[in-house]
Structure formats: structure tokens, C-alpha cells
Amino acid sequence: MIRLTLAEIAAATAGRLVIGQSGATPETVVDGESQTDSREVGPGQIFFARVGEETDGHLFANSAVDAGAALLVVERETDDRVPQIVVDDATLALGRLATEVVARVLAGGDLTIVGITGSNGKTTTKNLVAAMAEQCGAFVASAKSFNNEVGGPLTMLRVTDRTRTLVAEMGASKEGEIRRLTAMAPPAIGVVLTVGLAHAGEFGGIETTFRTKSEMVRDLPEGAVAVLNRDDPHVTRMKDLTRARVLWFGQHPEAHIRASDIDSDASGTRFTLHIGDESRRVVFRVLGEHHVTNALAAAAVGSELGLPIGKIVTALQGATRAARWRMEVMGGRDGVTIINDAYNASPDSMAAGLRTLAQIANPGSRTVAVLGAMSELGEYSIEEHIRIGLQAVRLGISELVVVGKEARHLHISAINEGSWDGESVFFENQDEAYDYLVQTLQTNDTVLVKSSNAAGLRILGDRLGEAFA
């Protein structure tokens, strides 16, 4: 974070400064990172004591001070060994401070903000864009999947006067959340990847999802750039909602940043990248043709950051996986390949994962889909789980292993499809599924493990990866 006095932080957060026994003064400077988890606090950092649904950060204020926190931002006074700023709402205060810090850096430096949203692919694209930004100087990118009202500001607060690029993943579970994040860190480059049914239960349908994701580009000024997916009809509609210059990416002939001649196997995906009049062949080691969309979005951002096509290709080819638990290739013993893609799952990403599984398997070898529930689909849940079960059958997946009662409709859908006879099995929990799989997987099997994060199958994927390492 930039250097700010306690008085400046109190003013930015609309809080009341309490010096306590610390010996500090209002002019004492703090420039450490901000944390909302006391276990992550290091010397000189700021701890925001948020009151959440399951716990109260004030219970861990003492631990944060013991770990070296230089400042507490609290909703009620607590450990007075360090200065405290008392605010009405610690989460809102976090956003207020992020807004102030980003505004100061924008006013005094050469900072480019890249905002990324979409129903699928945000984290993968963020990681690829970060590889582009790294070639332009000091950069800050969202850690993990920090893309909400807490993770977004925590990322923004890491910028300093040296930062040249801020790569901010911006997610939402309801309307207005992306707009709040873009108000904190106004993008010069706003990327929209896809509009799908992820979080449909919270959004209330595809049109609400469209309105929410379009918040990324609605407020962009004329001098900004809207990087839009020409292959997604809902994203294409956003052209009429922005004043910014539109830069298309995709496989569509009208795309400014385009891919052609795509092919994939278990080693990754190859495609020809077209930027303007230049073309290069890309050997992209991230598994799955659907990730070409993310690569093109990142290439578009790289081009806007001023990188030549050669450096863009180098950055793309340096990526070895999308992110942890996203099409992560594991295993290898007896030719068994485990693809752990169980960090997130929407109907679109589940379908893409199954298509990849069918495409990359060696001829004559088996494909096994280990699937759990897709969360947050609301009224669409049963219908979409049924559709995925049917797709697994129609793609010719050799065996379907369904885990967890929330995903049972996947199993029922598959066994009701007359072309199958016993190829789908159901287990209540991961332990039962693990025991079955380690006993039945065969030489050269290719296994996809896929579910929403809440279903927890990423742990099952890790266990299988270790068992067949």
C-alpha cells in the first residue's frame, strides 16, 4: 500500500482514530498490506475486523496484534496495544480505503487498471493477463479468486506508486456488486468473457446475469477499451451499452483478436493467434479448448498494454495450468490421467469439461467423469443437472461416477438414457467414491473430476492424483 498517516486512513474510512497505549500519533505512517484473516497478518499490516455470518473478526484482534499488526480497523474498540480506527462497517471501510488508495495512485502515477468479469474463466484469464502485465513493469493481480467486496479491495490495496498495472478479477452474486468494484478501481480496460448460468439461483436468470456482467462496461469512459467476446451472443449485445472503444476477441471472423485451426489433446491445445495482420502458432499447455477463449481475452489485453505478438505468445505458452484445481493434470501411473477441475462448476464449464474429456482420451482407452453438484443454480438446478447427465451419455463417456445427493439427478438422468447399462454409479460421499475408483480405474484411463467448490470434489481429485502419481 502507499504510505498514509493514521489520520489520512481514518478520514478515508470515515472512522474515529483511537491511539490507545500504542504511543503512535495521528501522523504515524502505515504502508503495510491489509488483511481480513488474522492468520494472514504480518508485521506492519492492517487488520480489518469484519463481522461475518459465521464469525466475528473482533475475536481475533488480539491474534492480529500478536502477529505484528500496526493498525486495527474495528466496529468496536478492542486491543489497545496498537492504534484502532472505529468505523460503522469494517467491510465498507475496506472499500473506502481501497477507493482512496487507487485514486491517489491514478492521480500521481502511470497506473492501468484491467477489470475482468464473466460467468466462467475469470481466474484463468486473470492469471494470463498477469503474465502479460509482468512484462510491462510492476503489477498487482488478484490472489486466488479474490473478486468480491472483500477480495477486490484487498487486491487494490496492494498497489503502490510503482505499480504500472492492476489486474482485478471482479465477480458478483447480485446486481450492483461489479459496479461497486469498478467505482473503487475504474478500469481503463474492461473485459467481459461470458454470460452464463453460473450463480443463476442468486441472479434470478440469464437476463439479470447479463445486466450484472454488463456493469463492467456501462460506466467505461470514451477513452477506455471494452474487451468483449464476439462468440458469446449476450456479451456481443454489450457493444450498445458502452461509450468505450470495443475490441472483439473470439473465433468469429469479425474478432480483432482471433483464433483458428484449434486442436487439442492431453498435452494441451494448439491454435493460430491472429492480431491484426500478424499471426503466430501457439502451443498452449492449458488443457481444454474452452480455455482458448480466455487466452484470446488475455492476448487482447496484452495488445492494449502495448506488447508485440511475440511477447504475447511467449506469455501464453508459459502457462502450464489454468489455476489450482482448474483443469489441473495429475496422476500418470499406469497411464492413468487425473484432471482435477473441481474448483468451480457451472452448466457451461461442466459441459466444456466433458467435451474436453471426450476429445483428449487416447483411442481405445476409457473416459471416466467424476461429477459433483453445480451450486447456486436455484430453479434451474434439476434441469441443468439432468442436461449434463444426458450430455455425458451422448458424448460417449465410458463411466459416470456421481458424488453427493445434490448431484443425484445427474446419475438418474444418465441411467434413464436407454443407451447405457450400468455405466453410471452413485455415491453419497467422497470416501466411498475414492475407494471405488482406486479399485476400478484401469490402465490408460482418463478421469475428469468436476464440481462446484462447495461440493469439495477438488479434495477427491487431489487424493486420486496422489494415488496414481
Q: 34: exposed, middle or buried (C-beta count within 10 Å: 0-12, 13-18, 19+)? A: buried
121 is in an annotated binding site: yes
C-alpha–C-alpha distance, residues 319 and 324, integer Å: 12
Please report the pLDDT score of residue 204 as a whole number. Answer: 58
Total-model pTM = 0.85
pLDDT in tens, the chain (469 residues): 999 999 999 999 999 999 988 889 999 999 999 999 999 999 999 999 999 878 899 999 999 999 999 999 999 999 999 999 999 999 999 999 999 999 999 998 799 999 999 988 888 899 999 999 999 999 999 887 677 889 999 999 999 999 999 999 998 878 899 999 999 999 999 999 999 765 554 555 788 889 999 999 999 999 999 999 999 999 999 999 999 999 999 999 999 999 999 998 878 899 999 999 999 999 998 888 888 999 999 999 999 999 999 999 999 999 876 556 677 888 889 999 999 998 878 888 899 899 999 988 888 899 999 999 998 788 888 999 999 999 999 899 999 999 999 999 999 998 887 655 668 999 999 999 999 999 999 999 999 999 988 888 999 999 999 999 8
Q: Is 42 annotated as a binding residue?
A: no
Is 196 annotated among the ligand-binding residues?
no
* Residue 429 labelled as part of a binding site: no
Selection from 465, 398, 456 nearest residue 430 by Cα: 456
Distance CA 33, CA 1 (A): 6
> How many other C-beta atoms lie within 10 A of the C-beta of residue 454?
15
3-state helix, strand and coil shares in percent for the chain, rounded to the nearest 5: 40, 20, 40
120 is in an annotated binding site: yes
The answer to the question of whether 123 is labelled as a binding residue is: yes
- Rounded CA-CA distance 335/97 in Å is 52
Q: Is residue 451 helix, strand or coil? A: coil
Sign of the Cα pseudo-torsion (253, 358, 124, 213, in order): positive
122 is in an annotated binding site: yes
Distance CA 42, CA 328 (A): 31
What pLDDT does residue 145 have? 67
Domain architecture of the chain: domains with CATH = 4-88 (3.40.1390.10), 109-317 (3.40.1190.10), 328-467 (3.90.190.20)
pLDDT (0 to 100) of residue 418: 61
Alpha-carbon gap, residue 236 to 18, rounded angstroms: 51
Amino acid letter for position 324 = R
